[in-house]
Chain A
Amino acid sequence: MAFLELDNLRKEFGDLVAVDGVSLSIEEGQFVTIVGPSGCGKSTILRSITGLETPSSGEIRLEGTDITELPAYRRNIGLVFQDYALFPHKTVFENVAFGLKMRGAPKAEQRERVEEMLEMVNLEGYQEKYPEECSGGEQQRIAVARAIAFDPDLVLMDEPLSNLDKNLRTSIRSELRRIQDETGVTTVYVTHNQNEALSLGDKLAVMNDGHLEQFDDPETVYRNPQTRFVADFLGRSTEVRGTYHRQNGEAVAELGGGIELQVQPSGSLADGDPASLFLRDEKLKLVDGSAPTENVLEGIIESVDYRGRDINYFIEVPKIGQTVQVSHIADHSTETFHTLGDAVSVYIEPENVTCLPADDSQP
């Protein structure tokens, strides 16, 4: 039995289906991230778990107990809000102690626990300050302390870093991970930012349009996307259409123009099916004539995007009539960079070519 189970969860707002039959099992102590574009239903799932929304149908079970209809204040679940939602009229102490106070904890215990929490988020001595006297990053950490202080069964975070600037985001991201390791509290973290999603969680759920697309550990999701949406959403890749074949025990996709690529097929593909190939920009390698002859695309540099650490080439491949994007780390000491109009070859290893059934409804 999983610690937290979502069973065929569905939520409608009028005609809009925000969550369309999502099932998810989360183990105790896991850090799970849910990622997806805005409007994909990830926040609605979070709000349903806390009890701020009631699902239209489906069940939410915590340690085997059905909590679907339980009001939010009777659940023992902490939530970190996107805009923190700190009580402006209460001090940092009163904010962090609020959950304990609601549970009737004695003052001495409140003081001790708040001190412990503030120490954990590196805000010792902030008890008597008011939220407005604290910076955005500090407020964010106070919100985390408040959501954990009353020892909840589960902590949920709703895009907690999206209001912070980029540098702060990275440092607080690792701090969140550290806090979760220290406390061991089961955490569900919602974000639209794929960097956060990939780096934070033990498990990653990708959502789109109310559906759960894939749920696995981040590396597997990134390396073996199961749907076109996941392949497209995580990382940067070029999608190429083709026809799937099995030849002499090898999985191959024919791209037209006589080009064939060996691929890593998803299980549901049968011989002769139309397929979508996803070529990740960092997996494509520029090679010269002496390099492999298999799994190579030949093309002409169409444009160059120099970004300091990386350099992106957009390479037109005439035989398939498409431009593929190649990104690689610029080695300034040895490399001579290609320029517009250079003829180049691009190699990709077969296991890095994600090959999925093509969706016929899309061009």
Chain B
Amino acid sequence: MATDHATTGETDVDAERGYFGVTISSRVKWNLIRAVTVAVYVMMILPLVVIVINSFNPSRLGNFPPQTLSIRWYEALLADELMLRALLNSLQVGVAAAFGAGLIGTLTAMGFVRNDFRMQDALVIVLLSPLLIPPIIVGVAATIFFGQAGIPRSLGWLVVMHTLLGLPYAFLIIRSQLYLFDETLEEAARTLGADRLTTFREVTFPIISPSIITSMVIVFVISFGEFTATQFWVKRTTTTVPVVIFSMLRTSISPKIDALATVMLVVTILVPLIVLGIRRWVLKT
């Protein structure tokens, strides 16, 4: 029997057995898989494509497809101080949170991997809690906390909270690379005359830096798109792109939203590509 299986191959065995009593030929089966895959991608990408195309549609009411193309909504966007400010805020907060989570994530992961201490597992759960607690609760809780503490809304507040929201991702990514790191490399550096700091700079950091960079990109993207909790934390001058888009949708349907959404989409896709591109280029040279 064993040789039968080997010669007929797996697909035919499956076909004989069938699915839920239905027997499908392998050609039909592969076509089905293909069709489902295409459908998934189309449903994911098509709405985005519609938004991007509509952002170039000069008509206010957005009849689709557009008869002509224009950049008037982008011009309007540039003239809209609130939107520009939101974009700038989002970029600033995203970059700052990326660096914050990258730094704290590295130190925390080093601490957890290199030391044995009591309650280690429980502390990991605490560290991951921003990931586990629903964002809306984090949003409300932080608002009440900062309110009671008498700290007014500011970009700094946003940076702190976004760092916190990104920290679990940074921690998990960096920790997994640290587990793979060979500590005898650090011992080698020490026997060659490097003190702790030099050892980290010369050996540990360069080797784990890919995971730090990856985690920073992810934290930036998360921060840049975070809406649920962020909406509680902003005021007019510290607002972010997702919050502006949402509030505009409530009042009017301006094609400017499409333009802003397109900009956001481009940033979200381009930043990781650029950073990872630079990383690859640096590794090559």
Contact = CB atoms under 8 A, between A and B. Distances in A.
A84 B266 CA distance: 46
A146 interface: yes
Nearest to B203: A87
Given A88-B207, A89-B207, A78 B189 contact: no
B198 interface: yes
B150 interface: no
A102 B192 contact: yes
A63 to B, nearest CB: 18
A81 B207 contact: no
Contacts of A244: none
Given A81-B184, A81-B188, A89 B206 contact: yes
B185 A85 contact: yes
A73 B194 contact: yes
Interface string B159-202: 00000000000000000000000101101111111110011001
B190 A150 contact: no
B91 to A, nearest CB: 31
A48 B192 CA distance: 15
Contacts of B188: 79, 81, 85-87
Contact of B191 (A72, A86, A87, A89): A72
Contacts of A150: 192-193
B187 A73 contact: no
A121 to B, nearest CB: 17
A78 B189 CA distance: 10
A52 B193 CA distance: 12
A98 B190 contact: no
B186 to A, nearest CB: 9
Nearest to B209: A89
Given A88-B207, A89-B206, A77 B185 contact: no
B203 A102 contact: no
Interface magnitude class on chain B = 10 to 19
Interface magnitude class on chain A = 20 to 34
A86 B182 CA distance: 10
Given A87-B203, A88-B207, A102-B198, A73 B184 contact: no
A73 B193 contact: yes
Contacts of A146: 192
Contacts of A85: 182, 184-185, 187-188
B227 to A, nearest CB: 39
Contacts of A52: 187, 190-191
Contacts of A103: 193
A241 B190 CA distance: 50
Interface string A67-94: 0000111111111010101111100000
Contacts, number: 63
A242 interface: no
Contacts of B190: 51-52, 71-73
Nearest to B183: A85
A99 interface: yes
Interface string A39-57: 0000000000011100000
B192 A99 contact: yes
A20 B182 CA distance: 29
Contacts of B185: 85, 87-88
Contacts of B182: 83, 85
A83 B187 CA distance: 12
Contacts of A81: 184, 187-188
Contacts of A147: 191
Given A85-B182, A87-B203, A99 B187 contact: no
Contacts of B192: 73, 78, 98-99, 102, 146, 150
B207 A77 contact: no
A42 B195 CA distance: 26
Nearest to A47: B187
Nearest to B186: A85
A156 B246 CA distance: 66
A83 B184 contact: yes
B207 A73 contact: no
Contacts of A73: 190-195, 198-199
Contacts of B199: 73
Contacts of A78: 191-192
A50 B191 contact: yes
A78 B190 CA distance: 10
A151 to B, nearest CB: 12
A71 B203 CA distance: 18
Contact of A98 (B184, B187, B189, B206): B189
Contacts of B189: 87, 98
B184 to A, nearest CB: 4
Nearest to B190: A72
Given A87-B203, A89-B207, A102 B194 contact: yes
Nearest to A89: B206
Contacts of A72: 187, 190-191
A71 B187 CA distance: 11
Contacts of A74: 193
18 contacts: A52-B191, A71-B190, A71-B195, A72-B187, A72-B191, A73-B190, A73-B191, A73-B192, A73-B194, A79-B188, A81-B184, A81-B187, A83-B182, A85-B184, A87-B188, A88-B207, A98-B202, A102-B198
Give me the 9 closest cross-chain CB pairs, A-B, nearest first: A102-B193, A85-B188, A99-B192, A72-B190, A85-B184, A79-B191, A89-B206, A98-B192, A73-B190
